[in-house]
Structure 1
Amino acid sequence: MAEIVVLGAGLSGALMAYEMSEQLRKEDHITVIGQGPTYQFYPSNPWVVVGWRKRHEIEVDLTKVMEKKNIRFITEGAKRVNPDENRVELNSGESVAYDYMVIATGPELAFDEIPGFGPQAFTQSICETGQAVQAYEAFEEFCKNPRPIVVGAAQGVSCFGPAYEFAFVLDTELRRRKIRHKVPMTFVTSEPYIGHLGLDGVGDTKGILESALRTRHIKWITNARVKEATEGHISIEELNDDASLKQTHEMDFGFAMMMPAFRGVPAVFGIEGLTNPRGFILADAYQRNPTYKNVFSIGVCVAIPPVTKTPVPVGVPKTGFMIESMVTATAHNIGKLLRGGEVDIKPSWNAICLADFGDGGIAFVAQPQLPPRNANWAASGKWVHWAKIAFEKYFMYKIRIGKSEPFYEKFMMKFAKIHKFEDGAH
């Protein structure tokens, strides 16, 4: 008999629990430890801010789903992982022992690294649905007295797509309310160029995104380092390519949303052999920790080195399909270990992504995610907006019923083929 613990119940954790349940022997058990019972579909958070979605539409109570799949579900959260003892200490003080553990915690949001940063201070966030609801309230007040808007991604950010999405969704909503002409907008990013995305670009993301910003009259600042935020004001340092200071931008705003850097959660941060200095989980090609061989990791919490050195630090994103491939490989590999075999499946680590612009969007495929690539494709159009809506509906359905079949790649490849993705890149 083996006890498998999945630490985290977000995108990667929920999918891991579903797929792992299909790999268990009759005598094995699986436990999921989450921070509360609710799954949130974070890709829809930009829509929450502008009122296109309500919170309840993108949340799922996982309690009944886990029960139906015979998965023990603990919702009080983990205080500390003790890999030397094969044990997870819960916030209640109790402990859960494991034979195998899959860490799927996601990140901690490092707002405290920049003075005045974050929803408890002077800028908004879309990283969590509760924060998106708070931003919705702030946006409604803003629309009564339109002023400049600043949107972007701070130094150390690894997830740039939502920042671009949010800028364009805001632009669309402001035009619908017929107040766009009153709102100067600036996109601020730590990327060395627009469309870098932490991936050194994918296809012509630079050209597509620069054109989209220009068409929508959104100015931009790259190589940007946020110095501090105060009420209605943000200080930005723009660097040269050699990392020297180019100029400082002092910008007033009526509404600001800036993506923060990520770091590992407190339950794992600083455990030697398990994490890197930022608290992300070290993993080999099979998602297995090199020191603790019975510990695997998936999703945003996994340590991936930057693609290239940049004047302002940027991280590497973990997209939906990349996470799905991590989940499938890990479930299979643990299943093999349970039956006396060896790990033998490596995740593909391809990047397949949809970024909605509110009335259009951009899609890209990078195979593999890190260059050089076999496929390097990007396209834009109104079809991306409808594809994102369709994906949201299906994925929420999948979470609600506990469906374990990987879906993201099939979905994206279907749309990509329709819109002239080259056959040789499949």
Structure 2
Amino acid sequence: MAKIVVLGAGTGGMPAAYEIKDILGKDHQVLMVNEHDKFRFVPSNPWIAVGWREPDAISIPIEKHLANKDIDFKCACVVKIDPIQNQLITAENDIIDYDYLVIATGPKLAFNAITGAGPEHFTQSICTLEHALKCKIDVDKLLNDPGPVIVGAFQGASCFGPAYEYVFILDKVLRDAGIRNKVPIHFVTSEPYIGYLGLGGVGDSKSMLESELRQRDIKWICNASVDYVEDGTMHISELDRKGVVDFSHSLPFHHSMLIPPFLGIDAVANVEGLCNAKGFVITDEHQRSPQFSNIFAGGVCVAIPPAEATPVPTGMPKTGYMIESMMTAIAHNLHSVIVEGKPPKSKGTWNAICIADMGDTGAVFVAMPQIAPRNVSWFKKGKWAHLAKIGFEKYFLLKMKTGSSEPMYEKYALKLMGITRLEDEDDK
């Protein structure tokens, strides 16, 4: 019997555990290890930050639902991976043995790369549930004491969608409160242009997102590198196409939320030969470490090069469908290695599918493959997309409760691509 340990119970780790158990069956043990005892649906964090969701609405107990599929669970914070002894060491000095390890951890949030950044200093975040709850406190302060707002993504960020979601959602909250006229908003981003999204743009994303920002009286600064943040003021260098400082800005703010750069978590990044310089796991086309043949990895923790060089560094996002396809490939490759005694043969599908809420409307984009040139480059918006994001939240949480191994993102996205006629029915 092989023991497979899945490290990280996020939007990649949970589906991975279900799929691995489903394909390997009762003869092999699957153990999930996660530092929290609840699964959190991270894409709903922007709603948490403005009070549109409560934590219990986007969280489910992990152990209870995994047990229904005969998957074991240990709630622990892993501080070290020993790939020679095939062991994980926890903060309590417990040792967890494994035959195969699947790394599905979230990122380390590198706020310390920018002086004054992060919830411990002067900017907010929606990257974790705890951060979103702290952001909600700051939003409440803003509602009571209106003033300038800055939203966006720091240099080195790779996840831009939530920043766009948040700025549009916050705009809706301020309009509903009748104080939008008292809150000037700047969208500050390391992207070379609006709608770049770390992907070189998708379809008409540039003009469509610019249009949405204009309609909502939101100004923007692209090619932005934040020099430092102090209480109530953000100091920004705006670079030109050659990477030379073109303008310098000192923007006041009462509230700010910027997505930070991501790194690999320490326990993973500290394993010699496993990761690149930023702590992301190096994998082959089968999601397996070239250095350690019994370690697989998928999701945010995996090393992917940027789409192209940009004046301000931007990373490549790992969207839900890409993550899901990585985990499916890992499950099939574990079956090949463990059950069939054959080399891995399955590969993830490098496509990007994203559903974004925009307060009272929404957007969906599909990039197949993720890196251009593409077979499909599809970007649409409308109220139907806002409803689709709500529907997908329920769909995903239900899948995590039932443990279904049916692919989620592809099925859901293809359904959305089939109802684009609803764009003409926004007023209904």
Q: What is the TM-score when the length of structure 2 is the normalising length?
A: 0.97
Between the aligned residues of both structures, percent identity stands at 48
Q: In the alignment, which residue of structure 2 is the partner of 1:167?
A: 167
- The answer for the alignment partner of 1:354 in structure 2 is 355
Secondary structure (helix, strand or coil) at the match of 1:138 reads helix
Residue 168 of structure 1: SS of its match in structure 2?
helix
SS in 1 for 2:265: coil
Alpha carbons of 1:301 and 1:204: their partners in 2 closer, same or farther (altered >3 Å)?
same
Distance 1:399 1:358 in 2: 26
* C-alpha distance in 2 between matches for 1:86 and 1:17: 19
Matches within 5 A, 1:288-327: 288-327=288-327
Counterpart for residue 424 of structure 1: none
User: Matched residues in 2 for 1:253 and 1:140: separation?
Assistant: 15
Please state if 1:17 is matched with 2:17: yes
Counterpart of 1:286? Answer: 286
- Are 1:131 and 2:131 an aligned pair? yes
3-state secondary structure, aligned to 1:267: helix
Cα deviation digits, residues 5-45 of structure 1 (max 9, x gap): 11111111111111111122433111111012111111111
Alpha-carbon distance in structure 2 between the residues aligned to 1:344 and 1:320: 22
Q: Which residue of 2 aligns with 1:271?
A: 271
1:146 partner amino acid: P
* 1:69 partner letter: K
1:295 partner letter:
I
Are the aligned partners of 1:152 and 1:164 in contact in 2 as well (CA < 8 Å)? yes
Name which of structure 1's ranges 91-100 and 346-355 shifts more when overlaid on structure 2.
91-100
Whole-angstrom CA distance in 2 between matches of 1:368 and 1:161: 18
Residue type of the partner of 1:87? Q
Checking the alignment, whether the CA contact within 8 Å between 1:236 and 1:250 is kept in structure 2 is yes
Q: Secondary structure at the match of 1:117?
A: coil
Q: Flag structure 1 segments of 5+ consecutive residues without an equivalent.
A: 422-426
1:374 equivalent in structure 2: 375
TM-score (norm 1): 0.97
Q: How does 1:401-412 map to 2 (within 5 A)?
A: 401-412=402-413
Counterparts of 1:325 and 1:414, CA distance in 2: 18
Matched, 1:106 2:106: yes
CA distance in 1, matches of 2:43, 2:52: 13
- In the TM superposition, what is the alpha-carbon distance from 1:253 to its structure 2 partner? 0.3
Computed over aligned residues only, the root mean square deviation of the Cα atoms, in angstroms, reads 1.2
Whole-angstrom CA distance in 2 between matches of 1:26 and 1:361: 42
Q: Match for 2:363: what amino acid?
A: I
Q: Does structure 1 conserve the Cα–Cα contact (< 8 Å) formed by 2:350 and 2:369?
A: yes
Greater displacement, 199-208 / 48-57: 48-57
How far the C-alpha of 1:342 sits from its partner, in A, is 2.2
Render the CA deviation track for 1:34-81: whole Å, top value 9, x for unaligned.
012111111111111111111111111111112222222111121111
Shift of residue 162 of structure 1? 0.1
Distance 1:116 1:197 in 2: 25
Q: Give the aligned partner of residue 227 of structure 2.
A: 227
8 Å CA contact 1:35–1:75 kept in 2: the answer is yes
**Equivalent residue of 1:23, what SS?**
helix
* Distance across 2 between alignment mates of 1:403 and 1:377: 28
1:338 has 2:356 as partner: no
Q: What is the DSSP-based 3-state SS (H/G/I as helix, E as strand, rest coil) of the residue aligned with 1:237?
A: strand
Residue number in structure 2 paired with 1:383: 384
**Partners of 1:292 and 1:371 in 2: how far apart?**
31
Tell me, in whole angstroms, the C-alpha distance in 1 between the residues paired with 2:239 and 2:271: 34
1:197-216 correspondence to structure 2 within 5 Å: 197-216=197-216
**Structure 2: how far apart are the matches of 1:362 and 1:65?**
32
| Equivalent residues of 2:63, 2:72 under 8 A apart | no
Change (3 A) 1:379 1:25: closer
Query: How many residues in Structure 1 have an aligned counterpart in Structure 2?
Result: 421
Distance, in Å, in 2 between the alignment partners of 1:239 and 1:89 is 44
| C-alpha contact (below 8 Å) 1:270/1:277 kept by paired residues | no
Shift of 1:271: 2.4
CA contact (8 A) 2:321 2:353 kept: yes
After TM superposition, the structure 1 stretch with the greater mean CA deviation from structure 2, 399-408 or 364-373, is: 399-408
Once the two structures are TM-superposed, the CA of residue 420 in structure 1 deviates from its matched residue by 6.0
Q: 1:218 aligns to what? A: 218
Task: Using the TM superposition, give the Cα deviation of residue 299 of structure 1 relative to its aligned residue in structure 2, in angstroms.
Answer: 0.6
Query: Is the Cα contact below 8 Å between 1:280 and 1:301 reproduced in 2?
Result: yes
CA drift of 1:141 comes to 1.3
